[in-house]
Amino acid sequence: MTHESKILSGLNDAQKEAVSHGPGPLLVLAGPGSGKTRVLTHRVAWLVTSGLARPEEILAVTFTNKAAVEMKQRIQNLLGGTGGVRAQTFHSACLYVLRRDSAKIGIDPKFTVVDEEARRELLVKVAKEFRLDPPDAAAAGKAISFAKNCLVGPDEFPKWAAEKTGEGSLLSQKMAEVVSGCGDAVPEVYAAYQEMLKKVNGLDFDDLLFEAVRLFRERPDVARKWAEIWKWVLVDEYQDTNRAQYEWLQLLVKKRRNVTAVGDPDQSIYGWRAADVENILRFKEHFPEAKVVALEKNYRSVPAVTSLADRLIQNNTRREKKTLIPVRPDGGEAQCLSFTNERAEAEFLAEKISALRGGQGLSWSDFAVLYRVNALSRTYEEALAKRGVPYVVVGSVGFWGRREIKDVLAHLRVVVNPRDVVSLRRVCLLQPGVGEATAAQVAALVLAGRPAAEVLSDVAGKPGIGKKARSSLIRLAKTLEVLETGIREKKPAAELCMYAAESTGYMAKLAKDRSEEGQERVANVGALVSAAAEIDASGGVAELLERAALASGDSDDGGGKDAVRLMTLHKAKGLEFHTVFLVAAEEGYLPHYQSSYGPALEEERRLCFVGATRAKDCLFVTWCRERTNWGRTAWNRPSRFLKEMGFEVNSYLETRRLSGTRWTDRIAAEL
């Protein structure tokens, strides 16, 4: 058997058809549990083994860092090494291009990637000039982010917002939601924020896409150069692309048109961040010669789950017609249960999880509780804790976003980008005796063009500076000088991280905290040094800082902990569990009260579809007659999605007793 044949071995007919497609555009419509990642990685391997592409000519784009790592590993397993295949997120790919060519549009290639925390800090500072408080600054930030993802700058913003209002599309609905909380100051705040980014030589995450598109538009020769480098482009989760991502791809594949888009319109759920489902629905309009392959076989869920999910999504009008075909035999269960209130609902799921785990030999991590909004989690957390059931709330701060990691890396950022006053302020405030006024004074002088170490030494000698602050500033100045020399001499990033943490007294300060949390922070710095050592094998400080910035928004998924997962429906995308509890299926929550009509309602239905199809064997959909929010108890109606799934929602009450616990619950239906 040839290596090419081995790549196709074990695939079903539709998967083989997609994997072995030759040159030209390809759209793979991949339903949940249909093996889309397998198709994507096998296609990369097939392109290489068939001789159509060299590894370094392939760019595979994903939406998350975790997915990129998984894709690289799978490709490596298939090919015995990635061999130069670049598998990364949109933001990483655009950053890679900008680091090499941004000077051609007037951007210093040594710019800092401004992470979300630093972005918020800059926005608050800018908003103060317009007498906006932090909540208004946050609202303006959302509007600015939305606009950038739609390739709208500050000058075009007023006209764009006016034209979009009342357009009737999902994008216009989501834009209206975002802009409504901002008042009329957004264009001015937007312009001032961009000016601030320019001063500190920074680009935020949205700028990476925005400026990469501008680069390709204004310099077609650069776009052609990269099209010759990446002759084959594959995109995962194409249904979640926004205007900026779509435009960048169009410019990249314009000449060769060797693009593979893999996705599912039925799982497009990110309209709130400007994702446009029309990008995948109109793929054939953009690429009339495209081949379309539908992956309809579902290998994940039992028929009871796939049938109700399929019935649900058939109610959407803007979709590609396809059906979920279960491969697994009958078994498992899908139920809809209703309760008097959220306490009874939470008590039920805690007891049910305990019973199923003990009766079927499952792990705690085989269970997930999914809800529409984070505010719903408290009741379920309390019920699980009361029963001694371990749980993890997915979405907490991931490794690269932890305070101690950002504190240490801020020292390196100041050296790499001398105008990064956000990081400079951070390291100043870490020093004993140094307050906001002194940090602001240092930042202002650095923005005026003076080296940070020189400024720190000068400020330390000024009248009015306390003894402790003087000593701290002098020590910090020395640290930055040593780091600058180390980076210039290309010393290992691990060594420089350790020096930054120890020379300033930061590690000693952490070590004084003997609590479990304090010792965990010490261990995290140790893990940072280990991560830097791994990166040293292929890169250095620059790569370490880029990886940290791009991953700072990643959330903690619980890792390998054996614990029940609690998360929003959005966070559940791409995951699967033996048993899923889809809770609070009530009008106002699911669908959300802001999205109960028009295209936004169709996205809510897709969100419910995503939640249901996370279940492999058991699905429990629950709703409550009454639920307390903001201290008020309100009567609820069952979600319209329940009937669309095929449940007969009845109105009678039944009292149950399980394990000595009594509650009143309403049984809606069982499959």
- Whose CA is closest to 600, among 370, 318, 374? 318
- Whose CA is closest to 642, among 602, 596, 598, 591? 591
- Indicate whether 51 pLDDT > 80: yes
Cβ count within 10 A of residue 358: 9
- Whose CA is closest to 206, among 252, 170, 154, 161? 154
- The residues, ordered by sequence, that sit 6+ positions from 221 with a Cβ below 8 Å of its Cβ are none
Q: Is there a binding annotation on residue 32?
A: yes
Residue ranges of the alpha helices (H) in 537-639? 541-551, 598-612
Kind and range of the H or E run holding 298: strand 297-298
State the average pLDDT over residues 362-385. Answer: 92
- Indicate whether 362 pLDDT > 80: yes
Query: Could you report how far apart the first and last alpha carbons of the chain are, in Å?
Result: 46
Checking DSSP bridges between strand 325-326 and strand 297-298, what pairing results, if any?
parallel
Unique residue bearing structure tokens 């995450």 = 205
- Whose CA is closest to 186, among 149, 136, 150, 151? 136
Largest CA distance in the chain: 81
- Indicate whether 183 pLDDT > 70: no
The per-residue pLDDT for range 382-392, each reduced to its tens digit, is: 999 999 999 99
Burial class (CB in 10 A: 0-12, 13-18, 19+), 70: middle
Q: Is there a binding annotation on residue 31?
A: yes
State the average pLDDT over residues 342-371. Answer: 94
Q: Are 422 and 119 in contact (CB under 8 A)?
A: no
Q: Is there a binding annotation on residue 35?
A: yes
DSSP states along 503-546: HTTHHHHHHT--SHHHHHHHHHHHHHHHHHHHHHTT--HHHHHH
- Indicate whether 476 pLDDT > 90: yes
Burial class (CB in 10 A: 0-12, 13-18, 19+), 467: exposed
Degrees, nearest 5: CA angle 545-547-550: 105
Find which of 550-559, 631-640, 651-660 is predicted with most confidence, using mean pLDDT: 631-640
- The residues, ordered by sequence, that sit 6+ positions from 490 with a Cβ below 8 Å of its Cβ are 540
- Indicate whether 173 pLDDT > 60: yes
Structure tokens at 487: 């980076």
Q: Give dist(CA 584, CA 587) in Å, integer.
A: 9
Identify which has the larger pLDDT, 5 or 650.
5
- Indicate whether 663 pLDDT > 70: no
Q: Give dist(CA 243, CA 152) in Å, integer.
A: 10
DSSP 600: H
Q: Is there a binding annotation on residue 33?
A: yes
Q: Is there a binding annotation on residue 361?
A: no
- Indicate whether 400 pLDDT > 80: yes
Q: Are 45 and 75 in contact (CB under 8 A)?
A: yes
State the average pLDDT over residues 610-625. Answer: 97
Q: Give dist(CA 245, CA 270) in Å, integer.
A: 14
Q: Give dist(CA 384, CA 353) in Å, integer.
A: 9
The per-residue pLDDT for range 489-533, each reduced to its tens digit, is: 999 999 999 999 999 999 988 888 877 778 888 888 998 998 898
The per-residue pLDDT for range 407-433, each reduced to its tens digit, is: 999 999 999 999 999 999 999 999 999
Q: Give dist(CA 64, CA 234) in Å, integer.
A: 15
DSSP 288: T
Q: Give dist(CA 370, CA 378) in Å, integer.
A: 13
At 166, the pLDDT band (50, 70, 90 cuts) reads low
Q: Are 383 and 349 in contact (CB under 8 A)?
A: yes
Identify which has the larger pLDDT, 541 or 396.
541
Q: Give dist(CA 649, CA 337) in Å, integer.
A: 9
- Indicate whether 215 pLDDT > 90: yes
Question: What pLDDT does residue 662 have?
Answer: 30
pLDDT averaged over the chain?
Answer: 89
The per-residue pLDDT for range 251-279, each reduced to its tens digit, is: 999 999 999 999 999 999 998 888 999 99
Q: Give dist(CA 369, CA 228) in Å, integer.
A: 47
At 661, the pLDDT band (50, 70, 90 cuts) reads very low
- Indicate whether 364 pLDDT > 90: yes
Question: What pLDDT does residue 305 have?
Answer: 96
497 CA to centre of own chain: 27
Question: What pLDDT does residue 527 have?
Answer: 86
Residue type, 158: P
At 363, the pLDDT band (50, 70, 90 cuts) reads very high
Q: Give dist(CA 633, CA 595) in Å, integer.
A: 22
Q: Is there a binding annotation on residue 36?
A: yes
- Indicate whether 241 pLDDT > 60: yes
Q: Is there a binding annotation on residue 579?
A: no
At 630, the pLDDT band (50, 70, 90 cuts) reads low
Structure tokens at 30: 């991949």
Find which of 63-77, 80-94, 304-318 is predicted with most confidence, using mean pLDDT: 304-318
Length in residues, the chain: 671
DSSP 242: B
Q: Are 156 and 186 in contact (CB under 8 A)?
A: no
- Indicate whether 656 pLDDT > 60: no
- Indicate whether 666 pLDDT > 60: no
Structure tokens at 397: 């701060």
Q: Are 27 and 284 in contact (CB under 8 A)?
A: yes
Helix (H, G, I), strand (E, B) or coil at 86: strand
- Indicate whether 651 pLDDT > 50: no
- The residues, ordered by sequence, that sit 6+ positions from 463 with a Cβ below 8 Å of its Cβ are none
| Sign for the pseudo-dihedral over CA of 464, 470, 476, 477 | positive
- Indicate whether 668 pLDDT > 60: no
The per-residue pLDDT for range 93-102, each reduced to its tens digit, is: 999 999 999 9
Residues labelled catalytic: 36-37, 236-237, 267, 614
State the average pLDDT over residues 532-536. Answer: 87
Instruction: Tell if the pTM clears 0.85, that is, is over it.
Output: yes
Convert 327-355 to b/e letters by CB count within 10 Å (16 or more is b): ebeeebebbbbbbebbbbbbbbbbbbbbe
State the average pLDDT over residues 635-660. Answer: 68
Question: What pLDDT does residue 82 have?
Answer: 59
Identify which has the larger pLDDT, 6 or 36.
36
Structure tokens at 332: 């498992």
- Whose CA is closest to 156, among 186, 198, 127, 132? 186
Q: Give dist(CA 187, CA 153) in Å, integer.
A: 9
- Whose CA is closest to 428, among 420, 436, 418? 436
Unique residue bearing structure tokens 């699905």 = 619
Identify which has the larger pLDDT, 515 or 29.
29
